[in-house]
Amino acid sequence: MSDKVNKTRDSGIELLRIIAILMVIGIHTFLYGNYYECAVSAGGFVELCSSGLKLLFRPAVNIFILITGYFMVKMRFDLKKAYTRVLKIYSSVLFYSVVLSLITILAGSKFYTIDGETDSVLIIVLKMIFPVLSQQWYFITDYILLCLLAPFVNIVLQNIKKKDYHVLIIVTTFIMSIWFLLSDLRIMDQVVRTYGFGDIQQGKNVFSFVYLYIIGGYIRLHSKKNDRPKLVYILGFFGCLLINGLLATRLQGVLELGEMVTLYTNPFVILMAVCLVMYFKDLHFQSKIVNTLASTTIGVYAIHEFKYIRELLWNMFDFRKVDCSNMFLDLVYIISIGVMVFGACAAIDLLRQRLFKLFEKKGGN
């Protein structure tokens, strides 16, 4: 994710950041807003379309990490500069942790009572002080750990030959993706085991992030630069989406893949993310508006995914309270939620950025 506007940067990748955070909100609409549950109850065409949308949104997290590798892989080994950047990210995360936690506490116990259980104020305060260690936001914790490791990873990626880079990607892809796919096949689950790898299989960990960073770095260092994006990557994206959809529906009874089709480590989900990065990196245009909005993505994530805000937000946009039988209206509602959540959170983060700039100016005087 990005926490700073880079005016010299092409806006193609920045536009992809915005699309990715909207996809994240889409995932949360299914998960916390209970849209998928509602769509399954509606059945038929609505259930089929909702399954497709669920898979369409899935590459979001992978996209963010590929972009991180794409932009950071060429950085010179300078720990002071690299860790200063990490501190800037951490400062914004700590800001949201403190502000949102204090608002929750001051609002009263009903705001930190979830499913009839009231959280301890002491625990809320401790998580507020240590947002990374407490994994207040799992993504941000793993992202910061990745940024701490990145300077050392870059030494390897910048100095190995292209053919050796190919071997690295093949090996890591087998370990971090193919192995998990094979293990999820019912006919293979006693042969290919993932004992102790459960959390890694989910793709929500620093190891998976390093793997995706390696791929993003390869795209930057060794992929061909084009004057305009190639349509083949959009076709590749939808081709992988179709294959994943078949694995989730038509072929599920034959292959019995379980939940692997919806995990970030699914090779087709990874390929979908790669295809989008390959397309948008060659989308050359410059837009101050796009770059500015893209700079808010970490803030948008932190605000709407904060535990107690999340509970309040998705109680407001709970699909169980509406009729899901009309797919067109469902789409309008899902898109409207995404735009509203993104717009409100982006506006808040722009205010936060302005506040930080004021403090930086005063600190510099």
Q: Where are the domains of the chain?
A: 11-364
Q: Which residue has the higher pLDDT, 199 or 346?
A: 346
Query: Residues 6 or more apart from 198 whose CB is under 8 A from it?
Result: none
DSSP output for 210-240: HHHHHHHHHHHHHSPP-SS--HHHHHHHHHH
Task: Provide Rg for the chain, Cα atoms.
Answer: 21
Residue 115 pLDDT greater than 90, yes or no? no
**What are 114's strand-pairing partners?**
117
Distance, in Å, from the CA atom of 278 to the CA atom of 220, rounded to the nearest integer, reads 10
Distance, in Å, from the CA atom of 103 to the CA atom of 178, rounded to the nearest integer, reads 44
Average pLDDT of the chain? 88
Distance, in Å, from the CA atom of 131 to the CA atom of 270, rounded to the nearest integer, reads 28
Residue 168 pLDDT greater than 90, yes or no? yes
- The one-letter amino acid code at 66 reads L
With a pLDDT cut of 70, the percent of the chain lying above it is 89
The mean per-residue pLDDT over the stretch 200-211 comes to 85
Residue 199 pLDDT greater than 80, yes or no? no
With a pLDDT cut of 90, the percent of the chain lying above it is 66
Q: Burial code of 195-218, b = ≥16 C-beta within 10 A, e = fewer? A: eebeebbebbbbbbbbbbbbbbbb
The pTM score is 0.91
Distance, in Å, from the CA atom of 240 to the CA atom of 246, rounded to the nearest integer, reads 10
Give the lowest-confidence range in 164-173, 174-183, 242-251.
Answer: 242-251
CA distances from 1 to 69, 139, 324 (A): 11, 10, 33
